[in-house]
Structure 1
Amino acid sequence: MIHVIDAGNRHLYGAELEQHYKIRHQIYVGERKWMALERPDGREVDQFDNADATYLLAIENGRVIGGTRLVPTTCPHLMADVFPFLADVRGLQRGSDIVEWTRIFVLPERRGPDSKILHTVLAGMFEYCLANDIAAITVVMETWWMPRFLELGWEVRPLGL
């Protein structure tokens, strides 16, 4: 089940959000070696983990097993404030109907060819966007994701080279 966590209900998900930050550290720092994100408390938290962020977490028996984060593009966000040069062709996309998608993950032990967690998180993200009149999603990503998204039938438009 995907839980939508935002400013209105964040107080109900304190333990789950802490699990989520620790899992992000394990994956993004430990696995992916994004060492600039390393923190001594073992939590991967950045300036965009704020009241504007919405988290979509897959929770099973009280345990976070996957998730992602959405940030309104009308607020500070990763592409606009850290990586604006990545949108050097089409420019930054901002609007009340556009969100930035970051920090998707599935617990390492829950990955594999038979796992449906990643697709459940993605489906939850689309359901959330449809329910909230979100027309577009921007993302800073490695290019190896593009063929996967195209295989899923997504309309992908690179904003930069």
Structure 2
Amino acid sequence: MFYAAAITSHIVIWRLSCSWQRLSIYWLSVESALNIKQVPRDETLKRKLRTVTIFICFGGAVEHLMNILSSIGLHCAPPDVMRTYILKSHGFLLLEHEYNEMIALAVVFASIFATVLWNFLDLLIILYCKGLTSRYLRLNICVETICLETQHNNISK
């Protein structure tokens, strides 16, 4: 289920990223139509996105390592680490008598790839949300400024 969800999520994000340029052009046209002259830049956004990226990458790596450690335990002998990990964490794929080192390497690679992909997709969703939140906050500031100017002009007339 995890692998299917990772692949499906990847396809959905890929489709979103392909349409992102078209969506941003549409967004700019709406802002132009609404006569929003200038939306101020968020000078802290780059730093916030980097901080979130570092935190998610570090957290994802720690989570994956903790998952591996919980599967093999601390008492496992070094030569049996791979076998123990594969049979405990991916026992739904292999029975003990079917274990093979080449299959184990492929499963470990697929597991790591799926985990990295899953964390990457989570990161993309978080970064999109932070970017959109920043944009909406700045748009709200512009709208508030326009409303205050309009209100001030109406009062002075």
**Pairwise same-fold verdict (TM > 0.5):** no
TM-score range, shorter chain: under 0.3
TM-score after normalising by structure 1? 0.21
The structure having more radius of gyration, on CA atoms, is: 2
Higher relative contact order (CA 8 A, sep 6+): 2
> Per residue, is there more strand in 1 or in 2?
1
Q: Which has the higher helix share?
A: 2
